Structure 1
Amino acid sequence: MIAEDSRPLPFFVYGTLRPGEGNHDLFLRGRTAAEEPGRLEDAVLYDGPGYPYVVEGPGGEVRGELVTARPEAYENLLADLDRLEEYAPGDPRNLYVRVARDVVRADGTAVAAWVYLAAPRVAARLRSAGTRIEGGDWLTRR
């Protein structure tokens, strides 16, 4: 049986892993079976420091891509993305937590996907003093 924290779900990417951004080619090229637009509802996107962060909250929306890994690449991709996001299950020093959330496809259907959200202490700091990216799209921040 697969542990819940590693079940094979697609990934919702909203920042540096999106097509055209620096980490897309480094981590995703050749390892995906599909990439399609998606959106995470009831979430807010913040700019850094250093990286984009999603914080859950009513009324917001974050735009990104829903990425489905090739089956043979899934396990290694999951481990690589956890390392990239400096996520270790249960570690209080995490900047992000990986959680399963429903992501809405362009056709309006929802699918469960892994999302890296700001860890609780980071989320609290962002809510009080973070720079929100209006419209929830990292690609429009410039």
Structure 2
Amino acid sequence: MSDQLPFFVYGTLRPGLHNHARYLAGRCTRIRPAVLTGAALHDGPGYPFLLPDPAHRVVGELLTLRAAQYPQLLALLDELEGCRTDGTGLYVRERLPVTVRGTGLAELAWVYLAGPAAAARLRERPALIASGDWTLPHGTTLPG
């Protein structure tokens, strides 16, 4: 299995937002709307976090990066997300199945989840974004 999986992005790395423009614009070969089930979206200090949660889903995009730039972009994204190899960073990167919207097909993708310290804080003081979509006003809910 190749480690060059697409990335599921749900916050500032989404197309049209500042970190996408800074890090990913022009470096993607494919961008598709997608949904991650079994995770809840929580508001953070200017960026969101994901926590595993079977009752929720998160809306975002599935980005396929240019193969020649993949190793460099992976390292850059891990650094941006504070992802450490020992699993103690701000985020942890995991392989998870993500559903491409409109097709019902699931694909494995890299997903950044809240790291241990952020996850513990959010379990104590949840900041759930009910819609599961960080680009919508946070009081919005989406139908089923």
TM-score, normalised to structure 1, is 0.91
Matched residue count:
137
* Alignment of structure 1 residues 4-15 onto 2, 5 Å: 7-15=3-11
- Tell me the residue number matched to 1:87: 83
**Residue type of the alignment partner of 2:100:** R
Corresponding residue of 1:35: 31
In the alignment, the residues of structure 1 paired with residue 53 and residue 120 of structure 2 have an alpha-carbon distance, to the nearest angstrom, of 12
Residue number in structure 2 paired with 1:102 = 97
**Segments of 4+ moved more than 3 angstroms:** none
> Over aligned residue pairs, what C-alpha RMSD do you find?
1.5
Q: What whole-Å deviation, never above 9, does each CA across 1:43-96 have from its counterpart, x for those lacking one? A: 00000023200001111000000000011111111011001101111052x110
Give the secondary-structure state (helix, strand or coil) at the position aligned to 1:73: helix
Shift of the alpha carbon at 1:29? 0.9
Q: Percent identity?
A: 48
Question: Which whole-Å CA distance do the structure 2 matches of 1:134 and 1:22 have between them?
Answer: 23
- The residue that corresponds to 2:17 in the other structure is 21
| Secondary structure, counterpart of 1:108 in structure 2 | coil
Q: Give the helix-richer structure, 1 or 2.
A: 1
Give how far 1:141 is off: 3.0
Residue aligned with 1:89, SS:
coil
Gap runs ≥5 in structure 1: none
CA distance in 1, matches of 2:60, 2:100: 10
Unpaired runs of 5+ in structure 2? 139-144
With the length of structure 2 as denominator, give the TM-score of the two structures.
0.90
User: What SS does the corresponding residue of 2:93 show, helix, strand or coil?
Assistant: strand
Please show how residues 46-125 of structure 1 align to structure 2 within 5 Å: 46-92=42-88, 94-106=89-101, 107-125=103-121
